[in-house]
Every structure is written in structure tokens, then in C-alpha cells.
A = this chain, B = another copy of it.
Amino acid sequence: MIALGKQTGYDIKQFVDESTRHFWAASYGQIYPELRRLGEAGLITGQSEPTGGRARTVYQLTDAGRAALTEWLEPEPDPTFEVRDEGMLKLFFSDLGTREQRIRNIRTMRERHERTLAQLSTLEQESGHIPEGPRLALEFGIDLHRGIVEWCEATERRLADEGADDAG
């Protein structure tokens, strides 16, 4: 983030929340201690640059930091891909509930992903020039959540049809 010109912990937090949040979130409780650790490790340096009487520390990469970044950029054979999906967990166990509950659960999932999709689409519209990396990540997110919404729609229809068969 510092390499992209984000100077302060606050900057980084703002940027994470409007960019990587959907595939890699971060909180102040992570960011500030991490800046301290990166400083101690000699990968970044911080200068105090207050705005008036307001404390403010701006960071830059050191040579060692740039080298570490270059190394990190190299793809690894088995990158972390972890998901925690509460809606899917409830769907998995939905045989223990009612049919109607299962349908409502999928609807709730769909609405959740529709909200995320709307956020990402807004982001896409609002952003003017955007570097290739962030643009690919954004397009990926839109595709992913659209795909999930479509899956929910299709499944809702299927379950509704099966219900109609039962009634008829």
C-alpha cells in the first residue's frame, strides 16, 4: 500500500476499505502494529509530518522494503484461498429445517450478494482511470458476485418449481 503512495495508517485503512476489502480486509488493530513491525524490520521508515497540531506519520519503503515487495509479488504454488460463508453453512444444514426456511435462506444469501455487487458496480462507475491490477480485481469481484446471485436465482426458481409440483 505504501508503494502505491498510501502514506499514513489512516490512508491505508481508507484505501483497503474501498479496494481490497472484498478479498482481503484489514482493521486499524492490524495496520498500526504492522507499520511498527515493518519499521523495526527495516522495510519502511516513518517521518512525523503533522498537519497543524494534528499528529501524522508518513511512511516510505526502504531499499530492503522494495526488495521484500518484489519478492512477495512472485506467485507461490498454492496461494491461500479461504472462504467463510455463513449462508452456505445454513443451506448445508437446511435438511434439518423446513423447505420454506431453505428458500428464505437462499433469498437472504442472494440479497447479501446483490448488495456487494451493487457496491462494486458503483465503484467501477465512479473510478476514472484505474491501474490494471485493481481493475482486474474489481472485474473479478463483480463477476464472482454476479455469478453467485445468478446461482441463487436459479436455485430459488428450481426449489419453487419443485414446491409447485408437490402442491399440484
- The smallest C-beta distance from A58 to any residue of chain B, in angstroms, reads 19
Contacting pair B85 A81 (CB below 8 A): yes
A97 located at the interface, meaning its Cβ lies under 8 Å from any Cβ of chain B in the complex? yes
**A37-79 at interface with B (beta carbon < 8 Å):** 69-70, 72-79
Q: How many copies does the complex hold?
A: 2
Contacting pair B23 A95 (CB below 8 A): no
Interface residues as binary, A2-15 with B (CB distance below 8 Å gives 1, 0 otherwise): 01100000000000
- The smallest C-beta distance from A33 to any residue of chain B, in angstroms, reads 19
What are the residues of chain B within 8 A of A80 when measuring CB–CB?
84-86
Contacting pair A105 B75 (CB below 8 A): yes
Interface residues as binary, A112-154 with B (CB distance below 8 Å gives 1, 0 otherwise): 1100100000000000000111101100100110011001000
What are the residues of chain B within 8 A of A72 when measuring CB–CB?
90
A82 located at the interface, meaning its Cβ lies under 8 Å from any Cβ of chain B in the complex? yes
Contacting pair B144 A148 (CB below 8 A): yes
A22 located at the interface, meaning its Cβ lies under 8 Å from any Cβ of chain B in the complex? yes
Q: 9 interchain pairs (CB within 8 A)?
A: A23-B88, A24-B86, A24-B89, A74-B101, A75-B107, A80-B86, A81-B83, A92-B134, A93-B133
Interface residues of A (CB under 8 A from B): 3-4, 19-20, 22-25, 69-70, 72-97, 101-102, 104-105, 107-109, 112-113, 116, 131-134, 136-137, 140, 143-144, 147-148, 151, 155
